[in-house]
Structure 1
Amino acid sequence: MTAEPSDEILMQSYAAGDAAAFETLYRRHRNTLYGFLLRALGRRDQADDCFQEVWSRVINAAPRYRPEAKFSTWLLQIAHNLLIDRHRRQRPEQPLDTADGDGPVIAALVEHEATPERQLSEFQAQQRLRQAIAALPAEQRHVVLLRLDQELSLEEIGLITGVGRETVKSRLRYAMDKLRERLA
């Protein structure tokens, strides 16, 4: 049994003209990327547009790609930069609609029991959490989603967002305080 090539090798292969390498990368990362964008933007139409733009930028950057960080970190950094650009263009910040589908964090925050009452309670808790996350300032929302949904380290989040570890910790702390306050 041969080991699967790493994302970084696949990206370099794609840059050298191997279209199948790109297809593999796309299959590996499409759901994670789309979920991150959907939860960050809150609207499917905006997430779809941003999703396409991220992959377009990956394709255009292929000849210049250098594996200085994990491919997934580089991909999320592209997505994060697009989100920041989008938020800057939309100022003042508009409230987000609630996103369809829940990430692993939201699912993990609610216990599962099959009774209809429990399911309704879970749904309401998920709605409140989605709304509370959506109400966070963009920088805090992105850090929370990267930490909780993507389970990235503070250092990886810092690479993606272009800020230091302490800034990431600070944004996370303020975001969690706001979430606790809103959900209390």
Structure 2
Amino acid sequence: MQTHGEDSPSDGDLLQAYAAGDARAFETLYDRHALPVWRFVQRSAQDSALADELVQDVWFSVVRQASQYQPRARFQTWLFTIAHHRLVDHWRRHKPHASLDAETLDGATLADRLAAESGFGPDRQLDSREQAQALLDALADLPNVQREAFLLQAEGGFSLNEIAQTTGVSMETAKSRLRYARARLREALEAYA
């Protein structure tokens, strides 16, 4: 999650400025939140092309709703709630068939990319690639609701209250989903400890 200096306008102020016609305000808002939202959607949907499509729809929704935005919660909570709803809509229409080891447009898998970006030598890259793939596999094996709770916290930096609010469940339900997700991920990665 990106922090903003005291002199930087808040996300809510930026959205209001955009609604009043300041296109640069939207650019700043987009620059602040585009990557975390995309990672949340991509890791939830497990398909980069689909994530691109859904995230584009999320930002179109922000544009359409800018003039009606009421700051009842953090802008980021509102934004991730929109992303959550786009994912739910997609899952209702389609069963997920994406494979985590599927090649991306550049011919590499996500695990290959994570290992290559580590800066380690070949032996460490292999270990890192295996561990990254194990994490991705474990994430993919989580039930959607647990994966979503985990990713909202990991990618969005959300509190339990914000996870509950975004997903429309009680705080206890959000807490349980997060606890079960962490336990399953920890169990899946024990071999790498």
TM-score of the two chains, using structure 1 as the length reference: 0.85
Shift of 1:96: 4.0
Distance in 2 (CA, whole Å) between partners of 1:52 and 1:74 is: 16
1:131 matched residue in structure 2: 137
CA offset digits 1:15-67 (Å, max 9, x no partner): 12221111111111111111111111111110010011000100111121111
Match of 1:94 among 83, 93, 97: 97
How many residue pairs match? The answer is 176
Gaps of 5+ in 2: none
Which aligned runs of 4 or more in structure 1 are off by greater than 4 angstroms? 98-102
1:38 matched residue in structure 2: 42
The sequence identity of aligned pairs, in percent, is: 44
Does residue 173 of structure 2 align to residue 167 of structure 1? Answer: yes
Residue identity opposite 2:78 in structure 1: W
Correspondence list, 1:54-133, <5 A:
54-91=58-95, 93-98=96-101, 114-133=120-139
Does residue 156 of structure 2 align to residue 150 of structure 1? Answer: yes
Distance in 2 (CA, whole Å) between partners of 1:7 and 1:37 is: 20
TM-score of the two chains, using structure 2 as the length reference: 0.82
Shift of 1:2: 7.4
User: Contact between 2:100 and 2:110, CA under 8 Å: does it hold in 1?
Assistant: no
Match of 2:183 among 163, 167, 177: 177
Match of 1:16 among 17, 20, 25: 20
Distance in 1 (CA, whole Å) between partners of 2:171 and 2:35 is: 27
Structure 1 vs Structure 2 CA RMSD: 2.4
CA offset digits 1:80-124 (Å, max 9, x no partner): 111111112124x4354358658xxx99xxxx7834212210111
Residue identity opposite 1:139 in structure 2: V
